[in-house]
Amino acid sequence: MDFAVVRGVSYALVHAPSLLVHMGTTQTVEREINPDSEYLNQFQKHLRSYQECVAYPTNQVYIGNMTPVQLAAVDRPWFERPVADASRYGKWGEVMPEDEFYGLMRIADSFNLVALEESFAKEIAARLAESPIWNDSDAARLGDGMPAAEVQAILDGGRAEPLYAGDRLVGCVKAAHERDRALTAHVMVENLSTKASGVLALRHLIKLNGLDAGEIDYIIECSEESCGDMNQRGGGNFAKAIGEMAGCKSATGSDVRGFCAAPAHAMVYAASLVQSGVFRNVVVVAGGATAKLGMNGRDHVKKGLPLLEDVLGAFAILVSANDGVNPVVRTDAVGRHTIGSGSSPQAVMTAIVLDPLERVGLKLAEVDKYSPEMQNPEITEPAGAGDVPKANFKMIAALAVKRGEIARTDIDSFVAEHGLPGFAPTQGHVPSGVPSIGYFRDEMLAGRMRRAQIIGKGSLFLGRMTNLFDGVSFLFEKNEGKKDEEKEDKRAEAGEPESRGELRKIMADALREVAQSLVKE
């Protein structure tokens, strides 16, 4: 079977402390119901500087400057052990500062909703012009900005959200409609943040992998936001909006939504589209979610920790036709939590982890690494959610015990051998399996890894439409360099028939020769 391959990846973060303050759901709800709360009086003291954010070890892993294995060797708490000489740019992308991101939001704005103060716009134009993702049309889209008094007048009108760089008011985002609640200023900040961070990841994917943007045929966007208006609140298309800003003129696309599991669904769709021959190059892309900035902030502040949920996460993954080199997405080993699978942890893990492996004759121990929900435990543990990746690895190990592959006493060693430390930001969809693809791809190309399983899980009950759980997985495997086309070439060279029709013709000719010889006899 000629599987599709992962030909390139990019991962990007945006340090967004002011968006955390003004857009994070935890903070905005607290401001509405308890504006004088102790949390609101204290939490800004727990915000990190941009330099602290860049030097945070898990962020360096996310953009490719460290491996998860190197992270596992760093003693916790990681936030007390910054990476020396940490770089903003990594093998797969960057950690963008918030002020530059406002400039990118303006560039990604197609309806003149983002207004930047003129001196700020000038500063950001100079800095963005030095960025590897800057292109020739960006300066015109960024514009010259407007006087501070005009920005303030828009805000005084009551239908705009402010943009701050620290304590400095640098712009605002306007509502896109007078009465449409799906197009309020708050919603437009959410949507533009998703779009702009998705553009950041896609532009890095194109740049870092030396791609021609015109090669991309199809784009699948799989973040947790959905754009639309009052008549079709989730009917919009982030995929084409992001592709437009990245110069993908030959691409079409659509959005996939599935809560945290959406990226795994999107990867399966992308691999299937490529493998079937419908499209040759498909990009799976996702931008960040402002609503989840500072989501667990109360618990972090209560325990005297920095607000570690201060980044938007984004990624882009290129899925292409088999080149005989890059690792493959095995569509014959897709795990799925069906409607009838059941919602117990054992039922879920059996359906999405064990069943697909059994289908292709593999044991759990024959998968080198697993990548389930890869949330950073320094974020989730203070909130009482524990170490989410480790819990998943232990459940997989328990399945191995039940199957008799390992002894119960070997659970910890199984986790150490087949697991990874969590390093992804709690952006919902972002942690669910896909952050590890870049690392796995490097290891497979270097010959140090054979296969991994990418696991996406989601909580469908959050939408109050069903109590069902969700989950999808797929095997990601080293390319053996054997393509169907190569097999056909070898068969042709050896004189082997390429089709049943040719085989029937050869058999008919042979029978005719036999019959003629019998007549002669």
Q: Are residues 104 and 122 in the same domain?
A: yes
Do residues 453 and 367 make contact, with C-beta atoms less than 8 angstroms apart?
yes
Q: What is the mean pLDDT of the chain?
A: 93
Q: Are residues 397 and 495 in the same domain?
A: no
Q: Are residues 509 and 453 in the same domain?
A: no
CA distance 136 to 138: 6
Q: Which domain holds residue 113?
A: 5-477
Q: Are residues 175 and 322 in the same domain?
A: yes
pLDDT value at residue 494: 44
Counting residues of the chain whose pLDDT is more than 70, the rounded percentage is 92
Instruction: List alpha helices for 24-174, DSSP H.
Output: 25-33, 38-42, 50-55, 57-62, 68-72, 98-108, 118-128, 138-142, 148-156
Do residues 171 and 123 make contact, with C-beta atoms less than 8 angstroms apart?
no
* pLDDT over 50 at 131, yes or no: yes
pTM of structure? 0.92
CA distance 200 to 97: 12
* Mean pLDDT, range 27-51, rounded to an integer: 96
Q: Are residues 498 and 381 in the same domain?
A: no
Give the three-class secondary structure for 369. strand
Match 């190309």 to its residue by tokens: 445
The tokens of 182 are what?
A: 């799906």
Extract the runs of DSSP E, i.e. beta strands, from 175-237: 218-221
* pLDDT over 90 at 426, yes or no: yes
Q: Tell me 421's DSSP state.
A: -
pLDDT value at residue 181: 95
Q: Are residues 390 and 488 in the same domain?
A: no
Phi, psi of 211, rounded to the nearest 5 degrees: -85, 150
* pLDDT over 90 at 484, yes or no: no
Query: What's the burial of 271, exposed, middle or buried (CB within 10 Å: 0-12/13-18/19+)?
Result: buried
pLDDT value at residue 509: 53
Looking at residue 183, which CATH number applies to its domain?
3.40.47
- The per-residue pLDDT for range 336-361, each reduced to its tens digit, is 999 999 988 899 999 999 999 999 99
Q: Are residues 453 and 501 in the same domain?
A: no
pLDDT value at residue 510: 44
* Mean pLDDT, range 267-295, rounded to an integer: 98
Q: Are residues 510 and 417 in the same domain?
A: no
Length, in residues, of the chain? 521
pLDDT value at residue 429: 93
* pLDDT over 90 at 521, yes or no: no
Extract the runs of DSSP E, i.e. beta strands, from 175-222: 218-221
* Exposure string for 216-243, b = 16+ CB within 10 A, e = fewer: bbbbbbbbbbbbbeeeeeeebbbbbbbb
* Mean pLDDT, range 173-196, rounded to an integer: 97
* pLDDT over 80 at 505, yes or no: no
pLDDT value at residue 357: 98
- The per-residue pLDDT for range 193-235, each reduced to its tens digit, is 999 999 999 999 999 999 999 999 999 999 999 999 999 999 9
* Mean pLDDT, range 378-403, rounded to an integer: 97
Q: Are residues 207 and 353 in the same domain?
A: yes
Q: Are residues 429 and 496 in the same domain?
A: no
In 3D space, the residue among 11, 194, 1 whose CA is nearest the CA of residue 93 turns out to be: 11
Q: Are residues 412 and 516 in the same domain?
A: no
The tokens of 78 are what?
A: 């990681």
Question: Rounded to whole angstroms, what are the CA distances from 444 to 327, 353, 437, 478?
Answer: 7, 21, 10, 5
Cβ-based neighbour number of residue 249 at 10 Å: 10
CA distance 15 to 4: 34
Q: Are residues 65 and 135 in the same domain?
A: yes
Domain end (from 459, 477, 495): 477
| Structure confidence at residue 69 as a pLDDT band (50, 70, 90) | very high
Domain tally, the chain: 2
In 3D space, the residue among 257, 282, 286, 263 whose CA is nearest the CA of residue 272 turns out to be: 282
Peptide bond just before 77 cis, omega within 30 deg? yes
| Structure confidence at residue 1 as a pLDDT band (50, 70, 90) | confident
Least confident of 184-188, 438-442, 482-486: 482-486
* pLDDT over 60 at 94, yes or no: yes
* Mean pLDDT, range 447-468, rounded to an integer: 95
* pLDDT over 80 at 274, yes or no: yes
Match 């399966």 to its residue by tokens: 268
246 contacts: CB under 8 Å, gap ≥ 6: 199, 202, 203, 206, 213
CA distance 338 to 349: 12
* pLDDT over 90 at 259, yes or no: yes
List the helix and strand counts (H, then E) for the chain.
22, 13
pLDDT value at residue 511: 43
Do residues 57 and 71 make contact, with C-beta atoms less than 8 angstroms apart?
yes
